[in-house]
Structure 1
Amino acid sequence: MAGKPKLYYFNGRGRMESIRWLLAAAGVELWGLSVLTLFFLSKDGALLFQQVPMVEIDGMKMVQTRAILSYVAGKYNLYGKDLKERAMIDMYVEGTRDLMDVIRVHHKLSPKEKEKNLALIEEKATTRYLPVYEKVLDDHGQDFLVGNQLTWADIQLIEAILMAEEKVSTILSRFPLLQVFKARISNIPTIKKFLQPGSQRKPPPDEKLVVTANRVFNRK
């Protein structure tokens, strides 16, 4: 296990999933640990802010999702070659995060609320977010969003696309360049491996997972 990042979270997607995606895309083997371990770590101050996700990497116990993702992206050359590219990556990442936040709440809603949320997901994805990435790809005619090389922005976009398709299967029907982008990124060897059964990728949340997560995070 030496050298592998240790991921502390419950056995579901949540805010850890983007970290799993980024590490997997970088070809890094992961060691996932139960979130229950955190309640023991928190007693000696190992868990800063008493929050998860937490990742042990390079001798650090890192919390705060954005800080972890930024570190991993920088460490594995997925964060652009200069400040300008990094700024572009940050903008694209924040856009996908906004869309993903709309999708993440879906499993917590009542049946009536879920129906409305599906319509909201489709409306926001197809009118606000996906057109931006379609235009970026069209304007520069390259395979990736920034610098014509794989970055954190591409990895988080493919994660967001697949999440959206789980809710609205036709979400990319009006975006031919994103359809090509999806196929291209999904076939990168490390990402293709992550998309296979048995990987560290987690399935969409269900009611059982919601109950488990609530119990864990409300535990005193």
Structure 2
Amino acid sequence: MESIRWLLASAGVEFEEEFIETREQYEKLQNDGYLLFGQVPLVEIDGMALTQTRAILSYLAAKYNLYGKDLKERVRIDMYVDGTLDLMMVMALAAFKPPEEKEENFALTVKKAKTRYFPVFEKILKDHGEDFLVGNKFSWADIQLLEAILMVEELNASVLCDFPLLKAFKTRISNIPTIKKFLQPGSQRKPAPDSHYIELVRHILQF
């Protein structure tokens, strides 16, 4: 759900959250037909009950004019978003590993960020010389990349030391008013999963 929070907050959209805290709540949503594939998150918007994170994000990006001006810009946004989601998924799954595997996975994440993902985005910014990743306009791709950068920095604060353009990008995007507000204490932004959250998820989803 966190990437959805990021996108809504960046678009300046206010939203209400309801948290599943028991297995019974989850089963009720499932039995009432809200969870298409038995998965959360669930977003209710425009008279629809949407599931599948990628579908929700693309709908919100299009609705709030963060998805490029044409098909060529949209496919570039999709490529960049999918790349950052790949990196973020490694971190998300690592949180549910045993302690020794978790640390190994986090180290692998930092290595992948420095050798596979961040060099790509550094080159993109260098090649077109613009403030944003696509079309010189703020888009979903910029939001997703900033979220990924901040997640990796929680594992290694100096991860951007060899990427000056990404470092400037992070500062620039972080200062967009809606994002700056979301990064302040007291916003709806959520911290990295702690042990309590992980056990609650395991109990509710039974995995």
Which of 56, 63, 68 pairs up with 1:80?
68
Residue 178 of structure 1: aligned partner: 166
Q: How far is the alpha carbon of 1:28 from its aligned partner?
A: 0.4
Deviations 1:113-136 (A, max 9, x none): 233223211210011000000000
1:166-205 equivalences in 2 (<5 Å): 166-205=154-193
Structure 2: distance between partners of 1:34 and 1:186? 27
Q: How far is the alpha carbon of 1:210 from its aligned partner?
A: 0.4
Identity %: 63
1:21-170 equivalences in 2 (<5 Å): 21-35=6-20, 36=22, 37-170=25-158
Deviations 1:16-45 (A, max 9, x none): 111110011000001000225443232221
5+ unaligned residues in a row in structure 2: which ranges? Answer: none
Q: With structure 1 as the length reference, what TM-score do the two structures score?
A: 0.89
Residue 10 of structure 1: aligned partner: none
Q: How far is the alpha carbon of 1:66 from its aligned partner?
A: 0.8
Structure 2: distance between partners of 1:151 and 1:84? 14
Report the count of equivalent residues: 204
Structure 2: distance between partners of 1:63 and 1:125? 28
Asked if structure 2 preserves the Cα contact closer than 8 Å seen for 1:78 and 1:152, the reply is yes
Structure 2: distance between partners of 1:161 and 1:65? 19
Identify, as 1 or 2, the structure richer in strand.
Answer: 1
Structure 1: distance between partners of 2:129 and 2:99? 42
Q: With structure 2 as the length reference, what TM-score do the two structures score?
A: 0.94
What RMSD, in angstroms, separates the aligned Cα atoms of the two structures?
A: 1.3
Asked if structure 1 preserves the Cα contact closer than 8 Å seen for 2:106 and 2:155, the reply is yes
Q: Do the aligned partners of residues 108 and 43 (structure 1) sit closer, same or farther apart at CA in structure 2, a change above 3 Å counting?
A: closer
